[in-house]
Amino acid sequence: MKLPRPTDITSLAKLILSDDCKSICILTGAGVSTNSGIPDFRSPGGMYDSLKPDLITATPNQRRMMEVDPTYVVEKGMFFANAFPYLEVRRPFILGTRDHKWKATIAHRFVELLHTKTGKLTRLYTQNIDGLNRQCTDLPAEKIVNVHGSLSEVACEGCGADMDFDEFCSSVKSKIKDIYKIDPDAPKESSPIKCTNCNKPLVKPRTVLFGGSLPSEFFEKCEEDLPSADLLIVAGTSLVVSPANSLVHQVSEDTVRVIVNNQPVGMELGIDYNKDNELSRDFFAQGECDKVFLDLVEELGWIDDLQAKTHQLPLKSQDLLKLKMSLNKKTD
Ligand code: OAD
């Protein structure tokens, strides 16, 4: 059944609550986590934009490759030839994850609330490896597909043997140099972290490298979930990486698609930004992810539930919530 296309946050909230909307899938990217302090990949100041190949332990040729295309830092061939670019670039992210440095944002809490308040969340597909959705403990693990793996599970990319996360982090701390110059205790030079099973220096978090395979769960769940989804919400992703971006095509032609982003994305995939096209099923909720989801939570009548989690939010998200509450008081 074709549902009405929302034209604003109020009509999106109505659609979510309507009996005709039974199944909702969500695809998220790095933009939902930036308010927690984790940079995205492709924005100015993002991981690829700020990459400095000169600081990385690599051959001149490998540095040139990363200069031309920064995604080489997380590419399978590069990792097998030299694990240091991945480990040096990811060092603060790995150690920050161990130290619980980042908190789930309003966008993450929205997903949790959608599940607990409506039971309509069929699946969250997240490209993020930060594990912030797992902080939302009312969202069951089986509702989440970690499309690109997870930072807190570690294994040898060569033989597949697992390694304990804390043990791995201790090795990262003592063996991998800090190219960001934030850790005075970091070694001056990097040395290999070897697998205790095969002795190769190929140990890393279980995250998907470019040229590597996605977890089979991704393909299984897509087939199971997407054809019958009534609503697909796509938040904080540039939609440039496949096959994650294929979700926008895998839903049926009647599925309403909502893009939450600070800029239009996915035009080349057929996302329609023409507001005047009456036949379109796409709605662009333009803005900062946390702000859009905060407005949506308010329209859905869940603001008290979100407020109860205020202290679990990162400071930026807390400030947004406080501002909204004080504005609401003034208009009461
Ligand atoms: P990108 O950095 O490519 O895209 C993030 C998108 O979110 C951009 O369109 C930003 O404009 C937008 N954005 C950032 N912060 C935002 C905010 N606070 N509010 C609203 N929009 C915001 O990140 P992803 O799309 O997640 O894969 O990247 C996809 C994949 O590329 C990653 O999973 C990773 C990377 O290479 C692998 O490493 C395999």
Ordered DSSP codes for 102-146: ----HHHHHHHHHHHHHS-EEEEEE---S-GGGG-TTS-GGGEEE
Ligand 1 pocket residue status of 43, Cβ below 6 Å:
yes
Q: Residue for token digits 């009509």?
A: 11
Among 28, 36, 237, 316, say which to mutate for ligand 1: greatest number of ligand atoms within 8 Å of CB: 237
- pLDDT at residue number 331: 72
Stretch 266-295: mean pLDDT, rounded?
Answer: 96
- In terms of pLDDT, which residue wins out, 329 or 146? 146
Is residue 165 within 8 Å of residue 150, measured between CB atoms? no
Is residue 172 within 8 Å of residue 152, measured between CB atoms? no
Ligand 1 pocket residue status of 33, Cβ below 6 Å:
no
**164-173, long-range: CB within 8 Å, 24+ apart, which pairs?**
165/98, 166/98, 168/94, 168/193, 168/203, 168/205, 169/94, 169/95, 169/98, 171/203, 172/87, 172/91, 172/94, 172/95, 173/95
Q: Which protein residue's CA is at the shortest distance from atom 26 of ligand 1? A: 29
Q: Which protein residue's CA is at the shortest distance from atom 2 of ligand 1? A: 41
Give CA–CA dist 243/250, Å, rounded: 10
Q: Residue for token digits 């991998």?
A: 176
Roughly what angle, to the nearest 10 degrees, separates helices 9-17 and 289-300?
A: 50
- Condensed to tens digits (0 to 9), the pLDDT of residues 171-209 reads 999 999 999 999 999 999 999 999 999 999 999 999 999
Looking at the annotation, which residues are catalytic?
Answer: 148
* Three-state DSSP class for residue 250: helix
- pLDDT at residue number 329: 80
Residue 22: pLDDT over 90? yes
Ligand 1 pocket residue status of 36, Cβ below 6 Å:
no
Output the CA 194–ligand 1 centroid distance in Å: 31
Residue 62: pLDDT over 80? yes
Give CA–CA dist 163/168, Å, rounded: 7
Residue 73: pLDDT over 90? yes
Angle at 58 between CA 180 and CA 172, to 5 degrees: 50
Is the sign of the CA dihedral 102, 105, 111, 117 positive or negative?
positive
Give CA–CA dist 257/253, Å, rounded: 10
- At residue 58 the predicted structure's pLDDT band, cuts being 50, 70 and 90, is very high
Output the CA 231–ligand 1 centroid distance in Å: 21
Stretch 280-287: mean pLDDT, rounded?
Answer: 97
Give CA–CA dist 253/142, Å, rounded: 26
Output the CA 263–ligand 1 centroid distance in Å: 11
Ligand 1 pocket residue status of 148, Cβ below 6 Å:
yes
Give CA–CA dist 25/123, Å, rounded: 5
Q: Which protein residue's CA is at the shortest distance from atom 8 of ligand 1? A: 238
| Per-chain mean pLDDT for the chain | 97
Give the position, in ligand 1's atom list, of the atom nearest the Cα of 47: 2
Residue 216: pLDDT over 90? yes
- pLDDT at residue number 201: 98
Residue 2: pLDDT over 90? no
Q: Which helix (H) or strand (E) holds 292?
A: helix 289-300
Ligand 1 pocket residue status of 149, Cβ below 6 Å:
no
Give the position, in ligand 1's atom list, of the atom nearest the Cα of 41: 2
Q: Residue for token digits 């060569």?
A: 158
Q: Residue for token digits 């899938």?
A: 25
Output the CA 25–ligand 1 centroid distance in Å: 18
- In terms of pLDDT, which residue wins out, 275 or 103? 103
**What is the distance of C-alpha 237 from the center of its chain?**
8
Ligand 1 pocket residue status of 241, Cβ below 6 Å:
yes
Angle at 137 between CA 243 and CA 106, to 5 degrees: 70
Cα-based distances in Å from 303 to 106, 140, 177, 287, 325: 11, 21, 44, 19, 9
Ligand 1 pocket residue status of 165, Cβ below 6 Å:
no
Q: Provide the percentage of residues in the chain whose pLDDT is more than 90.
A: 96
Output the CA 30–ligand 1 centroid distance in Å: 4
Ligand 1 pocket residue status of 263, Cβ below 6 Å:
yes
- Condensed to tens digits (0 to 9), the pLDDT of residues 95-143 reads 999 999 999 999 999 999 999 999 999 999 999 999 999 999 999 999 9
Ligand 1 pocket residue status of 265, Cβ below 6 Å:
yes
> Which DSSP string corresponds to 62-111?
HHHHHHH-GGGGGBHHHHHH-SHHHHHHHHHHHHHHHTT-----HHHHHH
> Which DSSP string corresponds to 146-212?
ETTEEEEEEEETTT--EE-HHHHHHHHHHHS--TTS--TTS-SS------TTT--S-EEEEEPPBTS
pTM exceeding the 0.75 threshold for the entire prediction: yes
Stretch 13-30: mean pLDDT, rounded?
Answer: 98
Output the CA 41–ligand 1 centroid distance in Å: 6
